[in-house]
Amino acid sequence: SHGQVRLIDAGFIWTEPHSKRLKLKLTVQKEVINGAVLQQVFVVEYIVQSQMCEDCHRIEAKDFWKAVVQVRQKTVHKKTFYYLEQLILKHRLHQNTLRIKEIHDGLDFYYSSKQHAQKMVDFLQCTVPCRSKSSQRLISHDIHSNVYNYKSTFSVEIVPICKDNVVCLSPKLAQSLGNMSQICVCTRVTSTIHLIDPRTLQIAEIDGSTYWRHPFNSLFHLRQLEEFIIMDISRVHEKKKGAGAGARSNKHTLAEAWVRKTSELDTDHQYFCCTHLGHILNPGDLVLGSCFSLQVLIKKSYDRCRRQRRRNWKLKDLERDREGTDTDDERQYQDFLEDLEEDETIRKNVNIYRNADIPVESDTDDDGAPRISLAEMLEDLHISQDATGGEGAEM
């Protein structure tokens, strides 16, 4: 019909991909007076304007959050946190967080929705022994649409017990665990607290709800342990089980040992003790223990510098804002890495990456310290993180 332009041809003219310009070459025809046809070619240039959706704007602003999960543990050692961090990374639960903030006794996870925060709380409750409570406060209320805007806070408290803690149970709790001794050693913390009685090898697990009903504390922590040298050690046949006694560990061996403090080698002062570590201790070995009236040996001691030097693997960590970290943090992190080397069970829940910068050593240079096999390591793919904080590809 008269006055209309017909589009004959259209095509893109190549532009630099990053220039944010699109050029189109258009060919049009129009019928002019007396059936004559006029054809014309011209270029249309579009400029791409970047624009964020409202939610992204707020995420970018970092101050927009609807819910926070505050994870706390009142303990001297951060082992459980380091373990938790690895679980979060493995299950990619950090993907929905706006930011993670590290403070003195825990981590804060910020979310744009209450649902995301609730998902994190549910995960924590399945993963570590803890208890949680939530609260919310009103930020704004739109009278016209009757919309209420709340900020939710979830407080999650992890039990204050770590691996290698010596604990004292209440008589009632010890009895309910199959007449266990009140003095026990914590062998690991997963979704439950794993305990062993070093004198009988009796074991028990305590979940979060049991712990909060019958709370107990650590008698002392790793830094307060003293170093001993094994002078003499002999395996002991397990004692007869008492009535109603619970299960015993088949991973440990009962032994009696004479030990001497490494700080008192110039004296003849020796201590006698029972230990659950008969399977790994030999005369001349160093061991950490407590010297107060209980004489408990807790863990075998190895040359830390040497272990660090030849550690041919590494872990990823959560990107977080740190608020004045403790000087002891690095030392505690090393403790955690050593725990991974010594405990296959918790290692299974952690992604361990091969560190190609460290050469594999020959076996001749082995002092018997536990190592992680290459078969358990993942190749480290240097993946750039995308904007969501998630990694660009599955590993």
Write the DSSP assignment of 147-172 as a string of letters: EEEEEEEEEEEE-S--TT-EEE--HH
pLDDT by residue, tens only, the chain of 395 residues: 456 888 999 999 988 877 888 999 999 988 888 878 888 999 999 988 877 776 666 566 555 789 999 999 988 888 888 999 999 999 998 888 999 998 878 899 999 999 999 999 999 999 999 999 999 888 777 778 777 788 999 999 999 999 999 999 999 999 999 999 999 999 999 999 999 999 899 999 999 999 999 999 888 777 788 899 999 999 988 667 776 778 899 999 999 999 999 998 888 899 998 899 999 999 999 999 987 656 789 989 999 899 998 899 999 999 888 876 666 788 889 999 999 999 988 999 999 999 988 877 665 556 678 889 888 998 875 544 444 444 444 44
Q: How many CB atoms sit inside 10 A of residue 311's CB?
A: 17
Region of 244 (left: φ > 0; alpha: ψ -120 to 50; beta: rest) is left
State the pLDDT at residue 363.
Answer: 56
- Report DSSP state, residue 116: H
Nearest to 184 by CA among 201, 167, 171, 206: 167
Closest CA to 178 of 249, 256, 236: 249
- What pLDDT shows up at residue 380? 73
Which of 281, 286, 303, 308 lies closest to 367, judged by CA?
303
Cross-strand pairs, 354? 313
Calculate the alpha carbon distances from 275 to 224, 256, 281 in Å: 18, 6, 9
Specify the residue for token string 């505690």: 332
Tokens of 148: 């209420």
Nearest CA to 204 out of 170, 180, 172, 171 is that of 180
- Per-residue pLDDT tens over the stretch 297-329: 998 999 989 999 889 999 999 988 887 666 678
CB-CB contact of 178 with 245 (8 Å): yes
pLDDT score at 59: 60
Q: What is the pLDDT of residue 244?
A: 72
SS3 letters across 216-283: CCEEECHHHCEEEEEEEEEECCCCCCCCCCCCECCCCECEEEEEEEHHHCCCCCCEEEEECECCCCCC
Q: In what order do the strands lie in the sheet with 218-220?
A: 203-206, 193-196, 183-189, 166-168, 218-220
* Beta-bridge partner residues of 68: 110, 153
What pLDDT is attached to residue 224? 81
Please report the pLDDT score of residue 386 as a whole number. 43
Please give the pLDDT value at position 292: 66
